[in-house]
């Protein structure tokens, strides 16, 4: 329990929650992110908080020094609108994983976790809203999301080969649409749950009874609450799962369903204005948790979507109100 743990991307959404949980369990944590601390979603005084560009090898060597465990969550990424228009930027995140793996081998790190994505899956398996849940082997033959998905899949393979060639014990989780409070909800990098929560909050606060929805609203996804993501991340890190594994909810909903749930939480009913030419990604995506449950004693993400969205919406609404108060005052 006294071993120092490195969390990269600690100023981000998942990273901030992970640092919080590890500290609560008495684990010493080094938290590293490229952003100024004023832009971190959460900052904890008990952590060794550092600002560094982990695309640089020297920065990775300094970040890893003295650590026993590494959680690599650092990446240049965002929602579908961002990753479809920033393919090169997303792919450059491969420098982070490359240099962190090298530094981890040199420093004698005991175990290394890589946060991958369901975007590694081939589009041919995701053409229908009634999608068959994706099994880990469906990532091959490879044809992932262009840019971001290719970087994630390549980095997964690097983890595998660093285990084979250098003996570095690695773990890989493929995250499926993680959402919750203390994340990005505006500015272009936000994902669907946060974006919808913000739009509904703006409609509620401004008494503007309409909402813009990207696509036709019939595309489907499963959404994983942050608490489940953090529990699963740590459990996978501590498990014997040597191959990439899904970490996501298996509850499939349409984007229209998602909007309806947030409307119910907010107590509003909004006219829906669809934007069919907006970036929407694949038509349907869901997580097959067979391997996850087998490895973790039957556990899988189980937070009800409405329960997670209620917490998320109330946090986003408070943030929107605070932003408006600053703008007016």
How many domains would you assign to the chain? 2
In a domain? residue 110: yes
* Residue 130 falls inside a structural domain: yes
Predicted confidence (pLDDT) at residue 118 exceeds the cutoff of 60: yes
Closest CA to 18 of 74, 71, 77: 71
Contacts by 16-21, CB closer than 8 A, 24 or more apart: 16/40, 16/41, 16/42, 16/43, 16/182, 17/42, 17/180, 17/182, 17/226, 17/227, 17/229, 17/230, 18/71, 18/73, 18/230, 18/233, 18/234, 19/44, 19/47, 20/44, 21/230, 21/234
Q: Examine the domain organization and report whether 109 and 210 are in the same domain.
A: no
Alpha-carbon gap, residue 186 to 183, rounded angstroms: 9
Q: Which residues pair with 221 in a beta bridge?
A: 253
- Residue 100: inside a domain, yes or no? yes
Q: Which of residues 17 and 145 earns the better pLDDT score?
A: 17
Domain of residue 234 covers 5-179+223-247
- pLDDT band with cut points at 50, 70 and 90 for residue 2: low
**Running DSSP on this structure, what letter comes out for residue 215?**
B
Q: Do 196 and 229 fall within a single domain? A: no
Looking at the structure, tell me whether residues 23 and 163 fall in a common domain. Answer: yes
Assign residue 257 the CATH number of its domain. 3.90.25.10
The answer as to whether 295 is a domain residue is yes
Containing H/E element for 174? strand 169-175
Residues 229 and 127 in one domain: yes
Q: Is residue 185 part of a domain?
A: no
Establish whether 179 is a catalytic residue. Answer: no
Structure tokens at 117: 């994505």
Residues whose CB is less than 8 angstroms from the CB of residue 242 and which lie 6 or more positions away in sequence, other chains included:
163, 170, 171
Same domain? For 275 and 157 the reply is no
Regarding whether 172 and 64 lie in a shared domain, the answer is yes
Q: From the candidates 114, 148, 179, 225, which is the catalytic residue?
A: 148
Residues 188-235 pLDDT 10s: 889 999 999 999 999 999 999 999 999 999 999 999 999 999 999 999
292 and 200 belong to one structural domain:
yes
| Residue 229 sits in the same domain as residue 296 | no
Q: Are residues 19 and 150 in the same domain?
A: yes
Mind listing the pLDDT tens digit for each residue in 14-55? Answer: 999 999 999 999 999 999 999 999 999 999 999 999 999 999
The alpha carbon of 129 is separated from its chain's Cα centroid by a whole number of angstroms, namely 22
Which CATH number covers residue 112?
3.40.50.720
């Amino acid at each position: 329990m006294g071993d120092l743990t490195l969390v990269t991307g600690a100023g981000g959404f998942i990273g901030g929650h992970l640092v919080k949980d590890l500290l609560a369990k008495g684990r010493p944590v080094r938290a590293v992110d490229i952003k100024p601390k004023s832009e971190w979603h959460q900052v904890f005084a008990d952590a060794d908080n550092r600002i560094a560009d982990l695309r640089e090898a020297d920065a990775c060597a300094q970040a890893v020094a003295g650590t026993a465990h590494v959680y690599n969550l650092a990446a240049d990424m965002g929602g579908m609108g961002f990753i479809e228009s920033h393919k090169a930027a997303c792919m450059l995140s491969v420098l982070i994983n490359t240099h962190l793996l090298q530094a981890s081998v040199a420093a004698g790190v005991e175990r290394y976790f890589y946060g991958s994505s369901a975007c590694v899956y081939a589009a041919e398996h995701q053409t229908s809203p009634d999608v068959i849940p994706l099994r880990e082997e469906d990532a091959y033959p490879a044809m992932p999301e262009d840019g971001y998905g290719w970087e994630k899949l390549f980095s997964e393979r690097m983890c595998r080969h660093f285990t084979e060639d250098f003996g570095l014990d690695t773990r890989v989780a493929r995250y499926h649409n993680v959402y919750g409070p203390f994340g990005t909800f505006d500015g272009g990098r936000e994902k669907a749950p946060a974006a919808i929560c913000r739009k509904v909050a703006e409609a509620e606060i401004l008494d503007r009874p309409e909402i813009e929805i990207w696509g036709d609203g019939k595309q489907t996804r499963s959404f994983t609450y942050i608490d489940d993501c953090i529990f699963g991340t740590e459990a996978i890190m501590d498990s014997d799962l040597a191959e990439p594994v899904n970490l996501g909810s298996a509850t499939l909903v349409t984007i229209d369903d998602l909007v309806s749930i947030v409307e119910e939480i907010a107590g509003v009913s909004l006219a829906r204005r669809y934007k069919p030419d907006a970036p929407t990604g694949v038509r349907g995506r869901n997580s097959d948790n067979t391997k996850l449950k087998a490895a973790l004693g039957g556990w899988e993400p189980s937070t009800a979507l409405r329960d997670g969205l209620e917490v998320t919406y109330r946090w986003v609404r408070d943030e929107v109100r605070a932003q408006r108060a600053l703008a007016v005052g």
